[in-house]
Homo-oligomer: A and B are copies of this chain.
Amino acid sequence: MSGRITLALDAMGGDHGPSVVVPAAFSFLDKRDDVDLILVGDEAVLESQLGHTGARHAGRVRIHHASQVVAMDELPSQALRGKKDSSMRVAINLVKQGEAQACVSAGNTGALMATARFVLKTLPGIDRPAIICPIPAVGGHTHMLDLGANADCTAEHLLQFGVMGSALAAAIHDISNPKVGLLNIGEEEIKGTETVRDASQLLQESRLNYIGYVEGNDIFSGKVDVVVSEGFVGNVSLKTMEGVAKMIGTYIREEFNRNWFTRLLGLVALPVLRSLKRRTDPRRYNGASFVGLQGIVIKSHGGADEVAFENAIRIAALEVEKDVPARISRLMANEVNEGQGV
């Protein structure tokens, strides 16, 4: 895809709303002159937030009014029925109407998924959209899905996740046959559930580059490009990563704060510690993709700061450039033909 890209940002979503979204938007516009942004939300609030800085990017950023905001703890069904003019809903509508090619929101995950699914619909052959995210791994990244949209999955759903993950990883990293692994546990005879075993069979028969079962530690080993799992397990695994990384960060701080000598060492080692912090900075990984929809929707962490939210915008633009939904459609059609013996 070439030409200009237009992205719709839910400017009211997340814990911080426009105070994070607007500066992140401007910072992104500074770096990319091929992208235009639509800030969706309360016009008065956004006008004041933009202030005179808006002038700098005249013509490349505009406000689209939406009168409602979905609360972070609102039930998805409630948001779907009662918040038809929410900033989240209107941003998704802009994608549906073709005014924007993707949208980004830091709002309520459940509501965003329900609304995106209702407005955009799933791609042909896809029963359920999934949440996918890059995870740091030795030598690069692993893409893991589903990260929490689907708690009960059939083997067919897991196969579809494999297709979606493969299409996305191929698009984002320009690789031709991403290695797909199915998350399982290691013990024989108590190995996995029936669903996982059936899914492994389906993946084996598919045209994907399926390498078999992987375990939790393989996510980071670089041996696989896509890790497929149902959403409950995927979400627990993702949250476990966050928890471990945070705890080790605490340990490092504690060790360097133990006494005046270690504090001195910490000062001297600052360049190394900074570099380490940069590599493990979760903000660099902010931005999960909802895949399997007829449109691109990126979910930012609710507590994202400017740096993190800007990364989610970057991912949205990248998925537009790579035309991820079309690639998923093609790969899915390929599988269906295979299934019919064509």
Contacts and interface: CB of A to CB of B under 8 A. Distances in A.
A149 interface: yes
A258 B271 CA distance: 11
A219 B240 contact: yes
Interface string A173-185: 0000000000101
Number of copies of this protein chain within its complex: 2
Contacts of A233: 232-233, 236
Contacts of A265: 268-269, 271-272
Nearest to A149: B190
Interface stretch (A16-24, A154-162, A273-281, A319-327): A273-281
A188 B152 contact: no
Interface in A164-198: 183, 185-193
A136 to B, nearest CB: 7
A292 interface: no
Interface stretch (A84-92, A99-107, A245-253): A245-253
B244 A245 contact: yes
A290 to B, nearest CB: 13
A149 to B, nearest CB: 7
A188 B272 contact: no
Contacts of A113: 187, 190
Interface string A215-258: 11111110000000101110111111111111110111001101
A122 to B, nearest CB: 16
A217 B189 contact: no
Given A75-B188, A187-B148, A188-B76, A216 B232 contact: no
Contacts of A185: 148, 151, 231-232, 235-236, 239
B262 A272 contact: yes
A110 B188 contact: yes
B193 A218 contact: no
Given A148-B190, A240-B244, 17 more contacts: A73-B188, A110-B188, A114-B189, A149-B190, A150-B190, A152-B193, A185-B231, A185-B235, A186-B235, A192-B232, A216-B236, A216-B238, A221-B243, A245-B248, A248-B280, A251-B280, A265-B268
